[in-house]
Amino acid sequence: MGYTLSDRGRERLDGLFNAIGQANGVTNISRQFSLSPTSEQRLEDLQRESVGFLSRINIMPRRDLIGEVLGLGTHNMVGRRISRPNLPRKAAYVGNLQDREYKLYSTLFDTYLPWEVIDAWSKFPDFAQRYAKHVATSIGLTRIMVGWNGVEAATDSDPDANPLGEDLNIGWLQKLRLEKASHVMGRETVTVGEATTATGAAKPIYIGKNSDTADGDYKNIDALAYDLIAGMPSYARQSTDHVVIVSQDLVDEKYFPMVNRPLAETIDGGKSTSDQTVSDIVMSSKQIGGRPAAIAPFFPEGTMLITPLGKPNAENSSNLSMYYQEESRRRYIKDEPENMAALVDYNSVNEGYVIEDTDFAVIAENITFGDRP
């Protein structure tokens, strides 16, 4: 005989259903409905609160599925003087339009909770808030995971074959490989027609005490970071907002003393140095290549990304963005006892990943410790 939801659990669940319906102006949440603008913004805010890294990037609503990248976080010269009053004044855009295109893809974020969890949570008076944060955290972490590891937007994704969302959307690292091959180290380039991308085979970068920089190898990760930054245009190199994001396998106690802490049982298989690493960006007090160093959740091993990141919750200040289509969020919630679940929450949204200015981003991947064979 299966588990039966308690009366208290049923009462909490009914209260949650009513609250969601009222917030979105619908009477039946088991039918698909659009989120109200207020609910949509509340969901984004809750994700940023629950998953710290999302507060360091731009999350922007857009009207169209396909359009031009905004170029936020980069700045053109906007000053001007005019000697005669009859000369026209000409305004300058406070970003950098690069004639680059974004594309948003429909993405499903469907979750469920079994009756046992509903009953366990029903004793808390903040049941609805607890549930909302649970869903927001799950969706937020998935978005970060895909941002680092996504390489395509497959017609039908396969989470079993691609557990890091490699086929769910085109993430930031893949965007740079496709749009700015000259800013990617550690991978062969591929030219098809007039387009050259850094999507070829791995071309390992070796770090070791006897490495020869003339062969593209380095004695330490600081030297690699300096070389990456040197590959940017001069105006991009001068940015004071650059952060060096590295995978945990590339750093030791010199940069992140917390790596000596016991590993936590975490959703990424225990690879994190602490529970904080799972949901937040961990900043080091040390620097790599003269820039602040950071470890981000789900960042791929053997990889380094240098790009400006915004201050927490500072709007439109990062070079990494997520765009979502306005009024594209759809949701419906069902009680499905046949699936041994008291709460099945179906969510969808059209969204995509964007690097605002590819001049301000460089990647090194397939980094390996040891001398070149």
23 falls in which pLDDT band (50, 70, 90)? confident
Region 236-241 average pLDDT: 91
Residue with the two structure tokens 């359009």: 67
pLDDT computed for residue 86 by the predictor = 65
pLDDT computed for residue 290 by the predictor = 93
Which token pair is 27?
């009477």
pLDDT computed for residue 201 by the predictor = 96
Helices (H), 122-233: 127-149, 172-179, 221-230
pLDDT computed for residue 73 by the predictor = 57
- Calculate ∠ Cα 219-292-173, nearest 5°: 80
Q: Which of helix, strand or coil describes residue 51?
A: coil
- Please name the residues in contact with 96: beta carbons below 8 A apart, sequence gap of 6 or more: 71, 74, 75, 76, 356, 357
CA atoms in the 13 A half-sphere facing the CB of 270: 3
What gap in Å lies between CA 213 and CA 158, rounded to an integer? Answer: 41
Helices (H), 104-155: 115-121, 127-149
pLDDT computed for residue 264 by the predictor = 45
Using alpha carbons, select from 273, 270, 269 the residue that is nearest to residue 253. 273
State percent of the chain over pLDDT 90.
49
pLDDT computed for residue 271 by the predictor = 46
Q: CA-based Rg of the chain, rounded to a whole angstrom? A: 23
- How is the chain split into domains, by residue range? 7-160+323-355, 179-311+358-369
What gap in Å lies between CA 352 and CA 147, rounded to an integer? Answer: 9
Region 100-105 average pLDDT: 94
Report domain 179-311+358-369's class.
Answer: alpha beta
Residue 327 DSSP code:
T
**pLDDT tens digit sequence for 213-224:** 555 589 889 999
pLDDT computed for residue 312 by the predictor = 79
pLDDT computed for residue 52 by the predictor = 84
What gap in Å lies between CA 291 and CA 13, rounded to an integer? Answer: 48
Tell me the CA end-to-end span of the chain in Å, nearest whole number.
Answer: 61
Q: Which range is most confident: 122-131, 172-181, 329-338? A: 172-181
Q: Which amino acid is at 335?
A: D
Residues 199-203: contacts with CB under 8 Å, at least 24 apart: 199/174, 202/365, 202/366, 203/366
- CB atoms under 10 Å from CB of 210, counted, come to 10
pLDDT computed for residue 310 by the predictor = 85
Q: Which of helix, strand or coil describes residue 352?
A: strand
* DSSP track, 6-73: -HHHHHHHHHHHHHHHHHHT-S-TTS-EEPPHHHHHHHHHHHHHHSGGGGGSEEEEESSSEEE---TT
**pLDDT tens digit sequence for 249-269:** 888 767 877 544 444 444 444
- Calculate ∠ Cα 102-133-4, nearest 5°: 120
